[in-house]
Amino acid sequence: MTWPGRGTAGDRFPVPRARSDAISIEIGRLISIEIAEVPGAPTAGAECGREPQWIADLVLEEEVGAPAGGYVGAVRTSTTDHRFLVDGSVSVLCGAVVGAASLTTVRDADPVVAAAVIAILVGLTGCLAVRRIRPTGAFVVGSALMLVLVALPNLGEQGVPPILLPFSLIHPVLLYAVVAYTERSALPVACGLLGAGISVVRGVIGFPFDPLGTAGVLATAAFGSVLAAWALGRYQRIRVAYVRSLEERAAQAELLREQQVREATAAERRLIAREIHDVAAHSLAVVLAQADTARLVFDRDPEKAREMIGTAVEVGRQAMGELRSMLGVLRTGDEPGPADGDLTELVETFRRAGAAVELVSSGTEREIDTAQRHAVYRIVQESVTNALKHVGPEVTCRVVLDWAADRLTVTVSDDGPGTSADPAAGGGFGIAGMAERMRQIGGDFEVRSAPGGGTEVRAGFGLPGAPR
């Protein structure tokens, strides 16, 4: 009979999935685990409306006393689900088989001895039924029954010792169970070896003729069955422990996946917040500055007012285009922002808004990657926008790009009144967003401000090929 979930190294056990985003884990070169959402898998929170549980795709039946927690094989055999019923049925069948073979010898024995043998047979069969539920108790009771069996007189005309009856083979099975399903192994094995020795002595006494030959056969059978039961039980315990370790790894993989999903979601939200803040704040600052100035000069210089309103409309359209572009690239997972990061065009936009912005570049310009170029663009944009918002259109800003051999430093300063408070301590997203951008590209960021000394934003990062 082929049991579901058993296979050799390299076998894979498919699980029907309701979704495709499964995790595959390779453990060494022998075992592969997949974690997938299995429809209909029982969960502790199913009645509470929780999501279906993620379980491991490695299928091995559980053979320990307590059921394994939430992470179990996707295919479960009836042996695992109805352990007591199956064990009871198997015990009755085994008891009937070995009992039938034993009763042919018992029928000619003394009625009292025969009744005792039958009672011991029934007791051992009951111990066999509960060997996985109560392995220690079953072994203790079974060992006591075997001692009583050893003490009984020989059976029948041939004088067969009761310890040699076929149902005595039930005791090694009880020893296997206590080794496999509990932490105790040394004491049960010692008891088993002691019982094997007693059985050999009792068998030799029961067969006084050819004692050496009888002792050799009995010793081989008795001690061999004890050692075999111990070895198989030990192997089973190691195997179950290994399966449990795989289940724990599957559980850890699920937790790791959930954490990664949460972190990715948070990072995406921060990215969207930064981009919307940069585009909206910059554009609104320029539009408001143009509209406010146009309102002031409308009566005395209508032509100038129309020009400023036109600039505001142009900036608004540009912002709308940037927002559409940003939403488009967010769907593809690319870094949103201006394609070329042209600082000259950005500075001209501010100048058309009435701000005095100077762009200075020193040193030899180097090629930088898209993320770095985008960060520089957004830092200049945000810094000048902040100056326009907090000081007004009359502010004068100076943007300096210092190209050193191994580093680019961007400095944006204004001649505003400054502040004694820490500019980074505010509740806005602008400064925090600039600092986050520089952190992502491995750079540094600093804001300085003092009363009467204006505000200075300084950011820098290593250039490609330079040691960091």
Instruction: Choose among 64, 56, 70, 66: nearest CA to 5.
Output: 56
Which tokens go with 309? 């309103």
- Tokens 């006084």 locate to 208
Question: What's the 3-state SS for the chain?
Answer: CCCCCCCCCCCCCCCCCCCCCCEEEEECCCEEEEEEECCCCCCCCHHHCCCCCEEECCCCCCCCCCCCCCCCCCCCCHHHHCHHHHHHHHHHHHHHHHHHHHHHHHCCCCHHHHHHHHHHHHHHHHHHHCCCCCHHHHHHHHHHHHHHHHHCCCECCCCECHHHCHHHHHHHHHHHHHHHHCCCCHHHHHHHHHHHHHHHHHHHHHCCCCHHHHHHHHHHHHHHHHHHHHHHHHHHHHHHHHHHHHHHHHHHHHHHHHHHHHHHHHHHHHHHHHHHHHHHHHHHHHHHHHHHHHHHHCCCCHHHHHHHHHHHHHHHHHHHHHHHHHHHHHHHCCCCCCCCCCHHHHHHHHHHCCCEEEEEEEECCCCCCHHHHHHHHHHHHHHHHHHHHHCCCCCEEEEEEEECCCEEEEEEEECCCCCCCCHHHCCCCHHHHHHHHHHHCCCEEEEEECCCCCEEEEEEEECCCCCC
Q: Do 454 and 418 contact (CB within 8 A), yes or no? A: yes
Instruction: Choose among 337, 321, 237: nearest CA to 278.
Output: 337
The one-digit pLDDT tens for each residue of the chain (468 residues) are 334 444 444 444 343 433 334 334 333 333 333 434 444 444 333 333 333 333 333 333 333 333 333 433 433 444 444 666 777 777 777 777 777 766 766 767 777 888 888 888 888 888 888 888 888 888 888 888 888 888 787 776 666 677 777 777 888 888 888 888 887 777 878 887 787 777 777 777 766 566 666 677 777 777 888 888 888 888 888 888 889 888 888 888 888 888 887 887 777 677 777 777 666 666 777 777 778 778 888 888 888 888 878 878 877 777 777 776 666 655 555 554 554 568 888 888 888 777 889 999 998 888 888 888 888 988 998 888 888 888 877 888 999 999 998 899 999 999 888 765 555 544 455 787 788 888 888 899 999 887 777 899 999 999 876 544
Domains of the chain by residue range = 82-209, 261-462
Instruction: Choose among 97, 206, 196: nearest CA to 147.
Output: 196
Which tokens go with 148? 């009583």
Specify burial of residue 387 (Cβ count, 10 A radius: 0-12, 13-18, 19+).
Answer: buried
Q: Which CATH superfamily is domain 261-462 in?
A: Histidine kinase-like ATPase, C-terminal domain (3.30.565.10)
